[in-house]
């Protein structure tokens, strides 16, 4: 363990890796980050997988097996395989922490961000495809995404809510979560394994604020940049 990551973990912060690829899994890199960098979870998104799928070699055997399926189906098979394998690597951590940590997130198609029913449907499909209790489905916190969050949780599916940019939207996400968990309980699901993460996009807010500070131009503003 590095001193910095150990201090971070000791302070109660769970370190998640915002990256995943077949080569990271097969090379042992992910296992090394768990053992030596205190990494206890992974989150992914389509951009991460787009970069990963350009790697030469690691995906070739599975691509040959997929044969003549359409591109979207192939991508779905490749990415859910990576997430499934990663959840298996993190399974021990998940069980030791009562599934607070040891989670791996996979995101619904961003093109569905403003389509409630389509988001809900794909979330259920991804959950079934990965088929691991420590997986999480990322759903954007758009207005249309909020009811999809509730409906997905109600089915006993763990959700990582992404694209939160304001306190107001965060409060709406909390309401959607509470309603979803209540419905899940009413539907007879074991709430112990239903996880929820609210991903507030601090970096995006920070970038926007930096631009405002730069435009201000004062010495006080410059001191706050970065």
Residues annotated as part of the active site: 138
- Close Cβ partners of 150 (under 8 Å, ≥ 6 residues apart): 176, 177, 179, 180, 183
Residues facing 136 on adjacent strands: 105
CA atoms within 13 A on the CB side of 205: 9
Rounded to an integer, what distance in angstroms lies between the CA atom of residue 106 and that of residue 112? 14
DSSP state of 89: H
Angle at 37 (CA atoms; ends 59, 140), nearest 5 degrees: 60
Say how many C-beta atoms besides its own lie within 10 A of residue 66's C-beta. 14
């Amino acid at each position: 363990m590095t001193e910095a990551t150990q201090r971070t973990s000791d302070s109660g912060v769970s370190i998640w890796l915002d990256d995943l690829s077949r080569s990271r899994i097969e090379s042992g890199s992910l296992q090394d980050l768990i053992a030596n960098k205190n990494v206890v979870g992974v989150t992914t998104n389509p951009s991460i997988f787009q970069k990963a799928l350009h790697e030469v070699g690691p995906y070739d055997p599975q691509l040959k097996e997929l044969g003549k399926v359409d591109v979207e189906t192939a991508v779905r098979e490749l990415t859910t395989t990576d997430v499934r394998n990663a959840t298996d690597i993190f399974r021990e951590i998940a069980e030791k922490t009562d599934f607070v940590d040891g989670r791996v997130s996979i995101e619904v198609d961003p093109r569905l961000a403003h389509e409630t029913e389509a988001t809900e449907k794909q979330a259920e499909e991804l959950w079934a495809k990965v088929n691991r209790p420590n997986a999480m489905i990322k759903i954007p916190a758009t207005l249309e995404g909020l009811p999809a969050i509730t409906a997905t949780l109600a089915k006993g599916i763990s959700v990582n809510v992404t694209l939160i940019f304001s306190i107001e939207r965060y409060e709406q996400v909390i309401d959607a979560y509470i309603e979803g968990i209540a419905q899940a309980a009413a539907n007879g699901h074991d709430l112990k394994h239903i996880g929820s993460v609210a991903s507030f996009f601090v970096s995006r807010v920070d970038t926007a604020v930096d631009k405002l500070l730069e435009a201000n131009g004062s010495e006080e503003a410059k001191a706050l940049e970065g």
